Structure 1
Amino acid sequence: MSITIRLDKEEEEILRGIVEAKNTNMSAYIREIISEKLDEEIDREMYKKAVEIMEDDDTEFVSWEEAKAELGLSDEI
């Protein structure tokens, strides 16, 4: 897939400087930034869902130790 973005001259100069300093290319750097932003968005959505679950009055939480005991898990690897 190909995407075109428009930057003003100052933004382009800053971006080119960063890309050069990181010794990478423009496409790789922009893909990295997009990937990081997508990860952040996914994390934010997962956090919102976790908060909704925690606010549910019917949700019961147990400690990790209790969960391990209930599932028959041990600390051994």
Structure 2
Amino acid sequence: MSITIRLEKGEEEILRGIVEAKNTNMSVYIRDIISEKIDDEIDREMYKKAVKVMEDDDTEFVSWEEAKAELGISDEV
């Protein structure tokens, strides 16, 4: 898929400078930025859902140490 974006002259110059400094190409750099933004958005939505569960649910949360003890898990390898 191909996408076209319009940038102001100054934005383009900054972007080209960053791409050159990172020794990559424009497509790879922009693809990486978009991927990071998508990951951030997914994380944000998952956080909102988790907070809602904690606020609305009668679920009991325990520490990792308590869960390990209850399940008989040790830290020994």
**Residues in 2 aligned to 1:59 and 1:51: alpha-carbon distance in whole angstroms:** 12
Q: CA deviation at 1:69?
A: 1.9
**TM-score, with length taken from structure 1:** 0.90
Gapped regions of structure 1 (runs ≥ 5): none
Gapped regions of structure 2 (runs ≥ 5): none
Counterpart residue number, 1:22: 22
Paired residues in the alignment total 77
4+ long deviations beyond 3 Å? none
CA RMSD of aligned residues (A): 1.2
**Residues in 2 aligned to 1:52 and 1:17: alpha-carbon distance in whole angstroms:** 42
**TM-score, with length taken from structure 2:** 0.90
Identity of aligned residues (%): 87
Instruction: Kindly provide the CA deviation profile for residues 7-64 of structure 1, in whole angstroms up to 9, marking residues without a partner as x.
Output: 1111111111111111110001001100110111011011101111111241211111
